[in-house]
């Protein structure tokens, strides 16, 4: 059996209000457009999650909302600036979902993508994982509890600026 994981970094955040905490920063105009573009890309490519695990920071919540997906979405404080190990622990709680989207922050999301990939794509953007970068992995597992680092087969990788 194969399960699909989609890893996405949040869209570009707004730094204009210095009174906001890091956790409270919303998306800027470019970020809002990028999140909507990525939602269209996910739909166009039939990468539709059954379940979304996202950090509970304002910018990840808004990214998820602007994707426009109709999936069970859980906003988790554990994913706020999470390490790859914490992300793996959260992933293993995916239950019966066949396709799961995880939305997080750098550097953790980039490190998680790199350690999950059996063969990382030869793409310089994969290493930097810019805002709204998205990797689609297929994992040869029967259940999320069986997920291991190095098992992810990269099916697709994209950044919003390539979509127009």
Output the known binding site: 59
DSSP 8-state code for residue 144: G
Question: Which residues line the annotated binding site for substrate?
Answer: 59
**Residues, the chain, total?**
164
Read out DSSP for 77-134?
A: GGGTT--HHHHHHHHTT-TT-SEEEEEE-TTHHHHHHHHHBSS--S-HHHHH--TT-E
C-alpha pair distances (Å), 99 with each of 51, 112, 115, 121, 125: 7, 17, 19, 21, 23
């Amino acid at each position: 059996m194969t399960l699909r994981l989609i890893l996405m970094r949040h869209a570009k955040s707004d730094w204009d209000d210095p009174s906001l905490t890091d956790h409270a920063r919303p998306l800027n105009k470019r970020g809002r457009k990028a999140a909507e573009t990525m939602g269209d890309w996910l739909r166009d490519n039939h990468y539709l999650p059954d379940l979304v695990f996202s950090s509970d920071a304002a910018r990840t919540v808004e990214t998820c909302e602007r994707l426009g997906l109709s999936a069970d979405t859980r906003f988790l404080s554990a994913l706020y600036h999470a390490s790859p190990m914490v992300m793996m622990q959260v992933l293993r709680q995916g239950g019966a979902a066949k396709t799961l989207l995880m939305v997080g922050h750098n550097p953790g999301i980039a490190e998680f993508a790199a350690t999950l990939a059996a063969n990382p794509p030869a793409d310089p953007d994969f290493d930097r994982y810019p805002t709204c970068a998205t990797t689609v992995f297929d994992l040869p597992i029967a259940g999320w509890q069986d997920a291991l680092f190095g098992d992810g087969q990269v099916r697709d990788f994209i950044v919003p600026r390539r979509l127009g």
